[in-house]
Structure 1
Amino acid sequence: MNLDQLEAFVHVAELSSFTRASAILGRTQPALSRLVRQLEVDLRQNLLRRNGRGVVLTEAGKVLLEHSKGILHQVEAAQNALKNLQGTLDGHVRIGLAPSVARFATMALVRGFQTQFPQANITVSEGLSSYLAEWLAMGRIDAAVLYDTGETPLVDKRLLFSEEMFLISKPDAPAPATITLAELARYPLIIPGRLHAIRTLVEMHAAERGVQLNIALEIDAVPPLLDLVDEGYGHAVLPLNAILADPRQRRFRCTRIADPAIRSRVAIATSNQHPLSRLANRAVAMLESEIMPLYAARQQNIDAYLA
């Protein structure tokens, strides 16, 4: 197995076509086919299934694709680190952001990066916190801003800020100003699926108090979740940053949860298995310095929303 084989396989797999991969890589289709076939022989696994529309991944191919992206990124990172020794800060940095962070931080992050590192490139990927942790461990991204729901092997995390979670209801819903965590069981909840950090956090607090939640619907994306709350299908448990990001700028009834309060922890995370290049270290420092002022400004909007 060599890097040429992995690069060919990744492009063919992601584009689902030898023809499209050939155009991107500037190699002939027979040359790519030989590289992928030799990789299959070396690994003694069928990685792709050919059909009339192109290729699809086998189960073995799906596993290798995830690891191959990390391997190729780490090779690129090593090359960039060697270049950085010469004093230039060029290369490629990949940052992952949880969806709620991506909505308010992506533009500022890209703008700041291009200003400080004009010779370098940045890729910003959005994903659930559980996926971001996996991508870090596999070396597919350099750093991430994610929700911290506990110990994550192979990943180091540093707290950026915490957010209070509220019971979110439609504006005319009858609800007191404050409820206890035990009283949360009375409300039918529209909540993300089990891979989502918010779901993990809410269920963890409920389990600690022996509270059985009433899950009415599972919706991962926040905008349609808020649509359903607005239509009266149930209630949500979210930080108010999610409400401020509502594209329709609706007002919802926000009830404080107490005894105990539920607070989400947002952290900046890096892999403890893959060293960061000088450029990546600088980018992570910039990421932290850019996001904190943005969050502080949004906190003022939250206070105004609750007033």
Structure 2
Amino acid sequence: MDLTQLAAFVAVADSSSFSTAATRLHLTQPAVSKRIAQLEATLEAPLFDRAGRQVLLTEAGTLLLPRARALLADAESARHALRDLRGETGGTLHLVSSHHIGLHRLPPLLRTFASRYPQVTLALRFMDSEQAVQHVLHGQAELALTTLGAATPPLQATKVWDDPLCFVAASTHPLAQRKQLGWADLAAHPAVLPEPQTYTHGIVADAFARRDLPLQLRMTTNYMETLKMLAAVGLAWSVLPRTMLDAQLQVLPVPGAALSRTLGHVTHDRRTLSRAALAFVALLQEEPGCAGLR
């Protein structure tokens, strides 16, 4: 099997689109189709069902996908090892980041990194933390900057920042009119929070569960900036990082509400990091509060 064919196969599988895969690979759509056809001929099995604009994996394609990811990741590790022998810090760094870190923590890091390592090409994508972790697990990225949950081998999570959380609402919200607030008062009003499967939602939900209180949800979205807007217009109360607070919102003083999350980076401990990735990790270690490698 040819690695370029496998790369085309994975790109189509990830995007469910030949045209999107072609754009991602900087190829024409006919070139991608040709590579898939060649791979299918080699394997003597169809890999995709094409129903109009829909592109779906066949049983053979589903079976091949994790193996193709592993082969591509091993090939990338080999390239990194050979580049390291030459002492170069160049090539492409495949980095994924949560939207929040991308907006509020990443810009100065990128500015410094680009200045120090101009030979490195950054392939940067933004996504939810949980999805970013999966990209590292499956070899689609070397490094993920995320809200950290419980990492299990072969993933390794390293703390970089503490991210204290605050209960907030618009100054016109009924809770903001109260001089004294308890957890039961929050439970009596709906909230806008990240999706239930996210790490941040879990922190809030666990806090209410420990107090045997219900958590009312008006709506959910994974974009912190959207949550800030929804709270600022008075739709509901929310929980936001302290770094996002401004005059649009009022902090709700809730006794015992010392909630916080941990932000950091995730790597795959069975894959060799490129010199570019190691350089980015070293830059992260310069951040105040970074726990270092563990």
Q: Secondary structure at the match of 2:252?
A: strand
Match in the other structure for 1:259:
256
Structure 1 runs of 4+ aligned residues shifted over 6 Å read none
Question: 1:90, 1:120 within 8 Å by CA — same for their partners in 2?
Answer: yes
Match in the other structure for 1:57:
56
Match in the other structure for 1:127:
127
What TM-score comes out, normalization by structure 2 length?
Answer: 0.81
Q: 1:179 offset after TM fit, Å?
A: 3.9
Per-residue CA distance 1:63-94 (angstroms, 9 max, x = gap): 85576456424422321221121122122212
Amino acid at match of 1:8: A
Q: 1:28 offset after TM fit, Å?
A: 4.9
Counterpart among 275, 278, 286 of residue 275 in structure 2: 278
Counterpart among 224, 235, 241 of residue 226 in structure 2: 224
Match in the other structure for 1:198:
200
Relative to structure 1, is the Cα distance of residues 277 and 33 closer, same or farther in structure 2, using a 3 angstrom cutoff? closer
Question: 2:232, 2:248 within 8 Å by CA — same for their partners in 1?
Answer: no
* Correspondence 1:18-33 to 2 at 5 A: 21=22, 24-25=26-27, 28=31, 31-33=34-36
* Correspondence 1:1-307 to 2 at 5 A: 1-13=1-13, 14=15, 16-17=17-18, 21=22, 24-25=26-27, 28=31, 31-38=34-41, 41=44, 46-53=46-53, 56-58=55-57, 61=61, 68-69=68-69, 71-174=71-174, 175=176, 176=178, 179-243=181-245, 251-289=248-286, 291-292=287-288
Give, in whole Å, the separation in 2 of the partners of 1:216 and 1:280.
Answer: 40
Question: 2:155, 2:266 within 8 Å by CA — same for their partners in 1?
Answer: yes
Relative to structure 1, is the Cα distance of residues 8 and 119 closer, same or farther in structure 2, using a 3 angstrom cutoff? same
Relative to structure 1, is the Cα distance of residues 49 and 214 closer, same or farther in structure 2, using a 3 angstrom cutoff? same
Relative to structure 1, is the Cα distance of residues 31 and 273 closer, same or farther in structure 2, using a 3 angstrom cutoff? same
Question: 2:16, 2:55 within 8 Å by CA — same for their partners in 1?
Answer: no
Question: 1:93, 1:122 within 8 Å by CA — same for their partners in 2?
Answer: yes
Relative to structure 1, is the Cα distance of residues 30 and 124 closer, same or farther in structure 2, using a 3 angstrom cutoff? closer
What TM-score comes out, normalization by structure 1 length?
Answer: 0.78
Amino acid at match of 1:102: G
What 5-or-longer segments of structure 2 have no aligned partner?
Answer: 290-294
Worse overlay, 145-154 or 177-186: 177-186
Q: 1:3 offset after TM fit, Å?
A: 1.9
Q: Secondary structure at the match of 2:89?
A: coil
Give, in whole Å, the separation in 2 of the partners of 1:19 and 1:267.
Answer: 30
* Residues matched between the structures, number: 283
Relative to structure 1, is the Cα distance of residues 20 and 169 closer, same or farther in structure 2, using a 3 angstrom cutoff? closer
Relative to structure 1, is the Cα distance of residues 149 and 17 closer, same or farther in structure 2, using a 3 angstrom cutoff? closer
Q: Secondary structure at the match of 1:256?
A: coil
Worse overlay, 113-122 or 146-155: 146-155
Per-residue CA distance 1:267-304 (angstroms, 9 max, x = gap): 22222222223332122111342x549xxxxxxxxxxx
What do you get for the CA RMSD once the two structures are aligned?
Answer: 3.2
Q: Secondary structure at the match of 1:80?
A: helix
